[in-house]
Amino acid sequence: MLTRLDPELKRTALAAGGPHAVVIGAGLGGLASAMRLGAKGYRVTVLDRLETPGGRGASLSQNGHRFDLGPTIVTVPQLFRELWRACGRDFDSDVDLRALDPFYEIRWPDGSRFTAQQDDAAMKEEVARLSPGDVDGYLRFLRDGEQRYHFGFEDLGRRPMHRLLDLIRVLPKFGMMRADRSVYALAARRVRDERLRMALSFHPLFIGGDPFHVTSMYALVCHLEKSFGVHYAIGGVAAIARAMARVVTDQGGTIRQQAEVDEILLSRGRAAGVRLGSGELIGADIVVSNADAGHTYDHLLRNVPRRRWTARRLRRSRWSMGLFVWYFGTRGTRGMWSDVGHHTILNGARYRGLVEDIFIRGRLTDDMSLYVHRPSVTDPGVAPEGDDTFYALSPVPHLGHADPVDWQEMAEPYRRKVQTFLEDQLLPGLGDRISASAVFTPETFRDRYLSPHGAGFSIEPRILQSAYFRPHNISEEVPGLYLSGAGTHPGAGLPGVIASAEVLEKVVPEPAEVTPR
Ligand SMILES: Cc1cc2nc3c(=O)[nH]c(=O)nc-3n(C[C@H](O)[C@H](O)[C@H](O)COP(=O)(O)OP(=O)(O)OC[C@H]3O[C@@H](n4cnc5c(N)ncnc54)[C@H](O)[C@@H]3O)c2cc1C
C-alpha cells in the first residue's frame, strides 16, 4: 500500500538519525506519550491541528478572563509526578498544584447540600445530615471503592490489555466484584437516600459514562478522591500542558501546532508516516495517534481495510454524551455569591430520567443539571481584579442520535436556559454582571477536536467497551501504529489518558530494536 511514497518517507524518517516517533495530537495523552517516548530514546515529533498544546485541556482568554476549556479537577497527582520522574524531571518544580478542601459541593432543588471533603469524620457527618441511617452503607461503599481501586486502577488500568489472555486472567476478579453491576446499582445497594446515591455514583459523568450503565468499577473514584485529594493547577490544566510541552522540547522533541494530519501512511503494510492537510509528508518509524480512536480509524486510516474497527462497528459503538459549556465572566462579583466555591454540582429535579434522556433517548430537555466551575476562588489571576471567571457545563446528547440537535439554532436559546437556571438556583443577579461569554456545543467538539458525534469523552466506558474491548493501545489494524488518550485503554479523564501513555511505553519497541526501514 502506498509504496510509491517509500523513498520520501524513508528520507524524512532517517533525516536526523535514530528512530522517529510521530505523535498525532497534543492532548494531555499525546504529550504524556511524547514525554515517555522521548525519555525512552525516540526522536519525537508531535503534530496538532490547534494553536496551542493541551487539546481539551487548553484555555481561552476573553476580556481579561482566562477560561479552562475542559478539565478542571486533577485527581491522582502522583501519576503526573511519576511521569515527570520517568523523564528525569520534578513535576512540582514545573507546576504549582494546590490541594482543594472542600473538594466540591453538590446542591439539590430542595435546598439540601452535600460537601465532599478530605476529613473522614466530616464526611460521615455530611452523610448523617442527609440520611442518618446511611452512614454504615456509605462506609461499605468506600470499602467497595478501595477494592476496585487496587484492581481496576493500579493493576488493570496501568498495564496493556490487548491480548485475549489479559482479559481471561482478570475475568474471575471482575465476576467477584460484580463489575457487571452499574455504579448506581452498587450505590443503591449500599445507601437508601436518592441524593446520596447520586453523590456516590455521578463520577462517571466526568469521563462520559452513564452511571446507570457503566461498571461499578468506577466506585473507585470516591477512593481516589479520599486518598489522594482533589487538586487544581494554578494557571489551569493549560499550565500543565505547557509544562509537558516544555519537557518534550527539552528532550529534543518537536511540537508543531496548526499541523493537521490527513492520513496515516503505510509502507509494506506498516505505519510509516503521515500526510498533513497541507500535503507535506512526514516519515516515521512508529506512529502514535492521540486523536480520537474513531477519527483515527474512520478518517486517518480510511484507505486501509480494517478487521475490527470498521466504520460499522464504530457507528454501532456507544459514544459518551456531548457537552454544552458556557464560559462566562462576571464584573464586580468577588464579594458576591460567597457560598459558591470552586466546584459546584447543581442538580435539577431528575437524575435517572435526565441521564436516560441524554444517553438513551438522545433528547435535549428543558431541565438540566450543571457542573459549575469558579476558579477565581482559588486562582484570582484568572479574572480582572474584583471579577470572576466561571464555566457551566451541561451534559447533552451527542450528535449521533436520530434527530440530533441543531446547535447553530439552539446554542443561544439553550445558553439562556442555563443562565436562568443559574440565576434561580445559584447566582442571583447574574444577568446584570456578565462581562465575557463564549459557548462550546457538541458541534464545537466535532469541528475543533475532530470528535466523532461531537462526543465529550470518546467511546463510552461501558464494560463491553473497556479494557480489552476498547480500541487497543497497540493497533489491531496496522503494525507500527499505537494509540493513546481517551478513546483507548484505560480511558478518558486526566488519570486515564496519562496512564494510557504509561501503557503505550510498555508496548512500543525499544528504540534499539527498531530496524530503520
Ligand atoms: C468540559 C470538560 C471537562 C472535563 N473535566 C475533567 C476533569 O475535571 N478532570 C478530568 O480528569 N478530566 C476531565 N475531562 C476529561 C479530559 O479532559 C479528557 O479525557 C482528556 O483531556 C482527553 O485527552 P486526550 O489526550 O485523549 O485528547 P484531547 O484533549 O482531545 O487531545 C487530542 C488532540 O488531538 C488533536 N487532533 C485530533 N485529530 C487530529 C489530526 N487529524 N491532526 C492533528 N491533530 C489532531 C485535537 O485537536 C486535540 O488537540 C473533561 C473534559 C471536558 C471536555
98, three cell numbers: 494546590
Res 215: pLDDT: 92
* Cα–Cα distance, 370 to 423 (Å, whole number): 13
CB within 8 Å of 204: residues ≥ 6 apart: 183, 210, 211, 214, 218, 221, 461
For residues 397 and 468, membership in a common domain is answered with: no
For residues 466 and 403, membership in a common domain is answered with: no
DSSP string for residues in 96-112:
-EEEESS-EEEE-TTS-
For residues 156 and 126, membership in a common domain is answered with: yes
Evaluate whether residue 400 is within a structural domain: yes
- Sign of CA pseudo-dihedral 472, 474, 476, 480: positive
Among candidate residues 405, 428, 449, the one where a domain is terminated:
449
For residues 435 and 328, membership in a common domain is answered with: yes
| Locus of grid cell 473514584 | 221
417, 366 Cβ separation under 8 angstroms:
yes
Nearest-atom number in ligand 1 for the CA of 69 is 1
Using the mean position of ligand 1's atoms as its centre, give its distance from the Cα of residue 292 in Å: 9
- Residue 154 has phi, psi (to 5 degrees) of -70, -35
Ligand 1 site, CB within 6 A? 24-30, 47-50, 55-57, 70-73, 206, 260-261, 290-291, 295, 323, 325, 393, 449-450, 456-457, 485-486, 492-494, 497
Nearest-atom number in ligand 1 for the CA of 73 is 8
Res 150: pLDDT: 86
* Cα–Cα distance, 167 to 81 (Å, whole number): 29
- Dump strand ranges (E) for 257-406: 261-267, 270-276, 281-283, 286-289, 322-330, 343-346, 370-373, 388-396
Evaluate whether residue 62 is within a structural domain: no
For residues 334 and 304, membership in a common domain is answered with: no
Protein residue with its CA nearest to atom 22 in ligand 1 = 486
For residues 276 and 366, membership in a common domain is answered with: no
* Cα–Cα distance, 433 to 174 (Å, whole number): 51
Res 495: pLDDT: 96
Judged by phi (left if over 0) then psi (alpha if -120 to 50, else beta), residue 469 lies in alpha
- Residue 444 has phi, psi (to 5 degrees) of -65, -45
Using the mean position of ligand 1's atoms as its centre, give its distance from the Cα of residue 55 in Å: 5
Nearest-atom number in ligand 1 for the CA of 456 is 53
Evaluate whether residue 90 is within a structural domain: no
For residues 344 and 309, membership in a common domain is answered with: no
Evaluate whether residue 32 is within a structural domain: yes
Q: Kindly list the distances between the CA atom of residue 39 and the CA atoms of 86, 158, 227, 406, 483, in Å, as whole numbers in the listed order.
A: 7, 18, 29, 45, 18
Evaluate whether residue 111 is within a structural domain: no
SS3 at position 485: coil
Res 13: pLDDT: 47
* Cα–Cα distance, 337 to 341 (Å, whole number): 9
Res 4: pLDDT: 43
How many of the other CB atoms lie within 10 Å of CB of 437? 14
Evaluate whether residue 106 is within a structural domain: no
- Residue 147 has phi, psi (to 5 degrees) of -55, -45
Res 3: pLDDT: 40
Q: At what angle do helices 135-148 and 120-130 cross, to 10 degrees?
A: 130
Using the mean position of ligand 1's atoms as its centre, give its distance from the Cα of residue 178 in Å: 30
Query: What's the domain count of the chain?
Result: 3
Among candidate residues 417, 449, 481, the one where a domain is terminated:
449
Residue numbers of the domain that contains 499? 3-57+79-85+235-316+462-513
Substitution site in 47, 78, 261, 290 for ligand 1 pocket (most atoms within 8 Å of beta carbon): 290
199, 116 Cβ separation under 8 angstroms:
yes
For residues 339 and 423, membership in a common domain is answered with: yes
Burial 315-336 (b: 16+ CB within 10 A, else e): eebbbbbbbbbbbbbbbebbee
DSSP annotation of 319: B
11, 465 Cβ separation under 8 angstroms:
no
Protein residue with its CA nearest to atom 7 in ligand 1 = 71
227, 511 Cβ separation under 8 angstroms:
no
Q: Kindly list the distances between the CA atom of residue 221 and the CA atoms of 218, 241, 309, 496, in Å, as whole numbers in the listed order.
A: 6, 23, 29, 12
57, 71 Cβ separation under 8 angstroms:
yes
Evaluate whether residue 64 is within a structural domain: no
DSSP annotation of 140: H
For residues 332 and 305, membership in a common domain is answered with: no
Q: Which helix (H) or strand (E) holds 481?
A: strand 481-483
Q: Per the omega criterion (within 30 degrees of 0), is the bond before 479 cis?
A: no
pLDDT per residue as tens digits for the range 393-425: 999 999 999 999 999 999 999 999 999 999 999
Q: Which helix (H) or strand (E) holds 129?
A: helix 120-130
We report the CATH number of the domain holding residue 329 as: 3.30.519
Among candidate residues 208, 226, 244, the one where a domain is terminated:
226
The reported pTM is: 0.96
Using the mean position of ligand 1's atoms as its centre, give its distance from the Cα of residue 71 in Å: 8
Integer-rounded Cα Rg, in Å, for the chain is 23
We report the CATH number of the domain holding residue 38 as: 3.50.50.60
User: Virtual CA dihedral for 288, 293, 294, 296, nearest 10 degrees?
Assistant: 0
Using the mean position of ligand 1's atoms as its centre, give its distance from the Cα of residue 2 in Å: 31
Cβ-based burial of 299 (10 A; exposed 0-12, middle 13-18, buried ≥19): middle
Low-confidence stretches of the chain (pLDDT beneath 70): 1-17, 516-517
pLDDT per residue as tens digits for the range 240-261: 999 999 999 999 999 999 999 9
For residues 432 and 335, membership in a common domain is answered with: yes
Substitution site in 33, 50, 52, 56 for ligand 1 pocket (most atoms within 8 Å of beta carbon): 56
- Sign of CA pseudo-dihedral 43, 56, 65, 444: positive
For residues 468 and 400, membership in a common domain is answered with: no
Per DSSP bridges, beta strands 20-24 and 286-289 are parallel
How many of the other CB atoms lie within 10 Å of CB of 183? 31
Evaluate whether residue 33 is within a structural domain: yes
Using the mean position of ligand 1's atoms as its centre, give its distance from the Cα of residue 196 in Å: 30
How many of the other CB atoms lie within 10 Å of CB of 211? 25
Using the mean position of ligand 1's atoms as its centre, give its distance from the Cα of residue 163 in Å: 26
CB within 8 Å of 494: residues ≥ 6 apart: 28, 57, 71, 74, 75, 76, 79, 237
For residues 200 and 217, membership in a common domain is answered with: yes
SS3 at position 403: coil
